[in-house]
Amino acid sequence: MAQLPLKFYEWIATRFYQKKPLDLQLLFVHLIERSLSSRREDNARVLTSYLDHDYWLFRFIAGKNIAQLHDRVSIENELISLLRDPDRKVREGGAQGLATLLQQDFFAWSSLITNGLEKKEKLLSLSLLLSILQFLQASSAANLSCDQYNQIASWFNGLKKTNFPAITHHFVTFCTPVISTHHPLLWNQLLKEDEKNWETTADLPIPDSLIDQIIGQDDAVRLIRRASRQHRSVLLIGEPGTGKSLLAKAMTNELSFYPLEDILIEQNTQQPYHPMVKTLTAGEGLTHLDQISKQASSQKQRLLFLLGFSGITLMGSILFYAFTQQQPLTLLWGLGPLIALPFLYRMWRQPSHRSIKLLVDNSQGNHVPFVDATGMQAGGLLGDIRHDPYQSGGNETPPHELIEAGAIHLAHQGVLYIDEVSTLGMESQQSLLSAFQEKKLAITGRNSNSSGTMIRTQAVPCNFILVLAGNDQDIEGMHPALRSRIQGNGYEIYMKNFMPDTKENRLKVAQFVAQEVKRDGKIPPFQRKAVERVIEEAKRRSERKESMTTRFRELGGLIRAAGDIAVERGATEVTHHDVTDALTETRTIEEQKTATIQPTMN
């Protein structure tokens, strides 16, 4: 009778929940584990049967509780299979099970991780990284010995050598905060290893995720991750070159992806100056447009066929009448259809106006939209009515075809970024606030040629995350209500313009140099001494003791200039001499003027 509850849960989960949402399926993990805990005597047999189950949920449970199996050889073989499983949740379960085994007997199971890393398989390596992370999260620094830290450090070095971008991303995103905060001894050991293990920037790993490439803004990155998860808006304030636009772009990679929509504008036959709005699933807009075009083309062909057939019939009748009745003057009536032929040909060639316009096309949208609206005026930001030079005489363009989408509409279900926000007029900021609050805004004339137009659409969807940016002076030029809205539904972030001069941050500057070399694509890697020269310049530009600047855009110019010098002399690597020469050639206009004036004064 003790097996009945377990069998009941197994049957319910298998029969009814395999296609349910993930959170509902995971409810049965707790129920089945609780049932197993109440019947200890037969757990090994039950878990063994779960190992090869078709339903991922049971393989997940088997991996998570694999420490309850008795046969060590069987555990090792089955655990490796679970850590390689195609299903991500099953691999997570296996990683949890391995972390539990490490807590029970660290050195007895360390060989499994060492041997697994030697295989250099992507899924297996990711699972092993997760198990090490979970072991560190469950262990305090006081309970781990130097030998254990040495072993873990060797594992991390082995993981870095796999050169999988996903490994780098997971290490930077998930492992770094845990190790640096809770295991400082291990963190210092890893930093020392990183310092030893590279000669040029080509040897340094570059994070795959854009947000992990942002240097010196740890607090900002943390808040941006949170804002992305919760779909909050952000105000970024800081000096130029501190990474504001990069943070905004990084949000699109952190946001959960929602199915995008196409937005269409339809002709309103009852009220032509008030076009209607329609939304379809992304990709369906073009399909709908093609169907309408085919229908219009078919109708046009039928109409021209009828007109042509009628003309030929009429002309034939007139010719027949003229010859049978011997009235040649009647032939003049036959010239009518001939004269009409050129007009019919022009009608055939003339493009017909569609009754619908695709305003926002997301047919290629497989990622979250990011729209940079910096410097846009009201029309470009909020949508506008295109000027029609032929406003009468039958040649005018239908009102719905004059509608143009604004940046707020193109950013629907994505991120809208506006730098130097104070350059927007107060009226535009008020309209932006309305769109932000209501998640929709009608399009009407906003430029000098269309401001008096009668055309006004229905409200067009514009559900976006707003990221505003600027410097300290831009705050004064912001509409108070717009800033208040962000304060009430998001975060204000001040970008740091310097960071402490530590070993960790020096390594991050080296990572930045490697990123710039890769991003540029035209310059060679930097030697270690060349990177150290860049670090010296970063310290000098901070204008603070034991600090380095975070205005990396300017450092990027120095890096490219040094790379150009190396290319010019045919070198395969950038040396510290190239960086020194680049410092002279990348002086600001003010520095160049000062250098020119001083010799003259002397």
Helix (H, G, I), strand (E, B) or coil at 416: strand
Do 76 and 186 fall within a single domain? yes
Do 335 and 394 fall within a single domain? no
Domain stops at, among 173, 197, 221: 197
Number of helices followed by number of strands (H, E) in the chain = 26, 14
547 assigned to some structural domain? yes
Do 419 and 273 fall within a single domain? yes
The pLDDT tens digits for 403-426 are 889 999 999 989 999 998 888 889
15 assigned to some structural domain? no
Do 410 and 484 fall within a single domain? yes
Helix (H, G, I), strand (E, B) or coil at 456: strand
Do 367 and 338 fall within a single domain? no
pLDDT of residue 537: 94
- Strand positions, DSSP E, 425-551: 440-444, 456-461, 465-470, 490-494, 498-500, 547-549
Place of tokens 């300017």: 554
204 assigned to some structural domain? no
Do 327 and 366 fall within a single domain? no
Tokens (6 digits) for 265: 């504008």
22 assigned to some structural domain? no
Average pLDDT estimate for 128-156: 90
Of the candidates 314, 458, 323, the residue with the CA atom closest to the CA atom of residue 400: 458
pLDDT of 122 above 50: yes
* Neighbour count for residue 568 (Cβ, 10 Å): 9
Domain stops at, among 436, 467, 494: 494
Do 457 and 588 fall within a single domain? no
State which H helix or E strand residue 267 sits in: none
Alpha helices in 350-468 (DSSP H): 378-382, 407-410, 426-438
Do 336 and 366 fall within a single domain? no
Beta bridge partners of 267: none
Sheet holding 490-494: strands in order across? 370-372, 415-418, 465-470, 233-237, 490-494
pLDDT of residue 459: 92
Do 545 and 476 fall within a single domain? no
Taking each helix axis from N to C end, the angle separating 22-37 and 4-16, rounded to the nearest 10 degrees, works out to 170
Which of 9-18, 125-134, 359-368 is predicted most confidently? Answer: 125-134
Residue 3 binned pLDDT confidence (cut-offs 50, 70, 90)? very low
pLDDT of residue 198: 82
Of the candidates 431, 459, 464, the residue with the CA atom closest to the CA atom of residue 278: 459
Of 192-201, 314-323, 432-441, 489-498, minimum mean pLDDT range = 314-323
Domain span at 339:
292-349
Q: For residue 314, give the amino acid letter.
A: L
Task: Please say whether the dihedral angle defined by the alpha carbons of residues 585, 589, 590 and 593, taken in this order, is positive or negative.
Answer: positive
pLDDT of 298 above 80: no
Which of 366-370, 452-456, 533-537, 592-596 is predicted most confidently? Answer: 533-537
pLDDT of 2 above 60: no
Do 490 and 502 fall within a single domain? no
Do 561 and 581 fall within a single domain? yes
Of 65-74, 436-445, 492-501, minimum mean pLDDT range = 65-74
32 assigned to some structural domain? no
Domain stops at, among 349, 382, 397: 349
pLDDT of residue 367: 81
459 assigned to some structural domain? yes
Q: Residue 93, CB half-sphere, CA atoms under 13 Å: how many?
A: 27
Tokens (6 digits) for 67: 């420490």
Helix (H, G, I), strand (E, B) or coil at 310: helix
* Neighbour count for residue 454 (Cβ, 10 Å): 11
Of the candidates 469, 473, 373, 492, the residue with the CA atom closest to the CA atom of residue 420: 469
Q: How many domains does the chain have?
A: 4
Q: For residue 129, give the amino acid letter.
A: L
Of 44-48, 57-61, 476-480, 542-546, minimum mean pLDDT range = 44-48
Average pLDDT estimate for 510-521: 93
Compute CA distances 340 → 308, 321, 346, 534, 584, whole Å: 9, 21, 10, 78, 77
Do 270 and 416 fall within a single domain? yes
Of the candidates 564, 575, 535, the residue with the CA atom closest to the CA atom of residue 552: 535
pLDDT of residue 338: 58
Residues in contact with 182: Cβ distance below 8 Å, sequence separation at least 6, in sequence order: 136, 137, 140, 141
Give yes or no for a contact between 528 and 482, defined as CB atoms under 8 angstroms apart. no
Supply the pTM of this predicted model: 0.69
CATH of the domain at 533: 1.10.8.60
What is the β-pairing status of strands 356-360 and 370-372?
A: unpaired
